[in-house]
A and B are shown apart, each in its own frame.
Chain A
């Protein structure tokens, strides 16, 4: 269906269902229970899952397929964000033009950066992309302040011209909307002890993310995708096979840059502001982590990686010592103290420590990321099943 084979169709539908039902699925704990803090079903976090999912899907098209490790992709997300905010300032609060221009500008910028960086490969390529991203970051903070608003970040203002639309409504800035439907609008459903929130912005992100995911599947299964994997496998053979690998890698670079711009545009659509810190190399590092953690080169891995990191970032940074003491309240005081003392460095502000350790463990033991883990588990179970069958058959003759 949709030009996908059977396996991909079921994967795609699984993702559609999960994304559509996420407000339920991510809120498994009743509102008043102690476990409610593990709920992830609120709009802001769910939007981030999808937006970073898109970013990682795009990054994976470059890194997962061609093996070119870019350390500068956050720059494209940043450029997309700025373009989006400017569309909202100058044209309309409708999010469609903003998102569209985000993609266009990120695409153009990645074409420039990619064209130059791809003249080199290996670590030289990584350093070139890093250099470009750091340059953009520094410039956004300094010279380009008229465009980027420097350290304060680019925001909407009451006197924005906004050609289609109005500068202000009742003395305040109008809300970002999709043909009149405000992105902030939410419908809340209370069922028993549970409270589910269905947010317009989230579902916009969902539609965009599903489209982006669909396109990624098609690219993976296309001759173009196969060529990209061949570039990763053996570029020399590629050239002697009559393929010009440069336009292929450049196309992959620009596509992934446009995905980053799309993510940046959606960020703006959800919350109309943009800051230079989005372009910093640590932000580029984060998308690398997401992709690797989930499983580079797999279809769904990067999305899982993005969700995993954003979820734990959110949960871990919320847990503090008091929460820990509540959990361990059943334990004797001394033991609880020790446990809290041991766990303390890894939670709250120590979340990055946990992330770093987790990341190292993944690279060391599971280079294929979460997807490889799932595969190994799968194999483990199928092997068990196989070994069970003969053992059940064996005692039969004795009866």
Chain B
């Protein structure tokens, strides 16, 4: 079953056509990667899917819900979570609080005036957050202020924040950008592990190593258009892809 279906999406910035009639779909329970050279429109595409940008034309359907025109928090509430290229976390709060917030948002909805409950006595949310932290290996740091973490840890924290919501679809924007090889491999392992939970994932990635270790299907975007789609091994050998990546440069 298709969990996400993007049809005929166009987006221009002034005279620049960032996305040109993009059609794209994701099967439930799979891991799909979007790759492409710099400036191919990957981030624009992602932003159109999650309501940060409104596409000029076209539809983005999540199951039978149209995501176009929804606000970011509404898109999250229907089950789409997102990991950002630079980790977006609550830098002034502790790790545990960082995870309790998305967990609360999942349980209580977009707004709940629980001004007289005790957050530290909410066992359900606390346990969930602690488990999540254990899952990503940050349990011993649960009372540290998140802003003081290393970049790799911040990324893991952000991932845990998204996972605590049990999303139906997880969008990852270059989850290993700026990481060391060791950290990258840890992240790949982590992402593989959470793959067991049956969460559908869309990964935007630069690093071919990551793409080929994770993805079951790869979509190649160049200059705002999809130029190839298929299994990783097929994509590897596709001359159009090599052309797009090397840009016809004479090496």
Residues of A at the B interface (CB closer than 8 Å) are 3, 5, 218-219, 221-227, 229-230, 232-234, 236-245, 247-248, 251, 255
> Which among B24-32, B88-96, B206-214 touches the partner chain?
B88-96
State how many angstroms separate the Cβ of A235 from the closest Cβ of chain B: 10
With the chains together, A229 CA to B92 CA distance in Å?
8
Are the CB atoms of A227 and B116 closer together than 8 Å?
no
Are the CB atoms of B90 and A221 closer together than 8 Å?
no
With the chains together, A243 CA to B100 CA distance in Å?
12
With the chains together, A219 CA to B114 CA distance in Å?
9
Residue total for B at the interface (Cβ-Cβ under 8 A): 39
Closest residue on chain B to residue A237 by CB atoms: B88
**Of A3, A232, A237, A251, the contact of B89 (CB 8 Å cutoff):** A237
State how many angstroms separate the Cβ of A250 from the closest Cβ of chain B: 10
With the chains together, A226 CA to B121 CA distance in Å?
13
Are the CB atoms of A227 and B117 closer together than 8 Å?
no
Chain B 49-75 interface 0/1 with A at a Cβ cutoff of 8 Å (1 = within):
010000000000000000000011100
Chain B 87-110 interface 0/1 with A at a Cβ cutoff of 8 Å (1 = within):
011111100010011101110111
Q: Contacts of B109 on A, CB cut-off 8 Å?
A: 242
Are the CB atoms of A247 and B119 closer together than 8 Å?
no
Are the CB atoms of B118 and A230 closer together than 8 Å?
no
Q: Contacts of B122 on A, CB cut-off 8 Å?
A: 223
Are the CB atoms of A243 and B101 closer together than 8 Å?
yes
**Of B92, B100, B102, B165, the contact of A232 (CB 8 Å cutoff):** B92
Q: Contacts of B93 on A, CB cut-off 8 Å?
A: 226, 229-230, 233
Known: A242-B110, A243-B73, A243-B101. A222 touches B115 (CB 8 A): yes
Are the CB atoms of A239 and B106 closer together than 8 Å?
no
Closest residue on chain A to residue B110 by CB atoms: A244
Closest residue on chain A to residue B72 by CB atoms: A239
Q: Contacts of A242 on B, CB cut-off 8 Å?
A: 73, 76-77, 102, 105-106, 109-110, 165
- Interface residue B161 (Cβ < 8 Å from any Cβ of A): yes
Interchain residue pairs with CB less than 8 A apart (16): A221-B120, A223-B108, A229-B90, A229-B97, A230-B90, A230-B93, A232-B92, A236-B88, A238-B73, A239-B72, A240-B82, A240-B84, A241-B101, A242-B165, A251-B113, A251-B115
Are the CB atoms of A222 and B117 closer together than 8 Å?
yes
Known: A3-B118, A242-B76, A242-B77. A223 touches B111 (CB 8 A): no
Given contacts A241-B73, A242-B102, A255-B115, list 15 more A-B pairs with CB under 8 A.
A5-B120, A222-B116, A223-B100, A223-B104, A223-B112, A224-B117, A233-B92, A234-B88, A237-B88, A240-B76, A240-B84, A241-B102, A242-B109, A242-B110, A244-B111
10 closest A-B pairs by CB: A242-B76, A244-B110, A233-B90, A237-B88, A242-B105, A224-B115, A239-B72, A233-B92, A247-B111, A223-B114
With the chains together, A223 CA to B117 CA distance in Å?
7
Q: Which of B72, B109, B113, B115 has most A Cβ within 10 Å?
A: B115
With the chains together, A251 CA to B89 CA distance in Å?
23
With the chains together, A247 CA to B72 CA distance in Å?
15
State how many angstroms separate the Cβ of B156 from the closest Cβ of chain A: 15
Q: Contacts of B111 on A, CB cut-off 8 Å?
A: 243-244, 247-248
Are the CB atoms of A226 and B97 closer together than 8 Å?
yes
Closest residue on chain B to residue A251 by CB atoms: B113
State how many angstroms separate the Cβ of A375 from the closest Cβ of chain B: 15
Are the CB atoms of B119 and A221 closer together than 8 Å?
yes
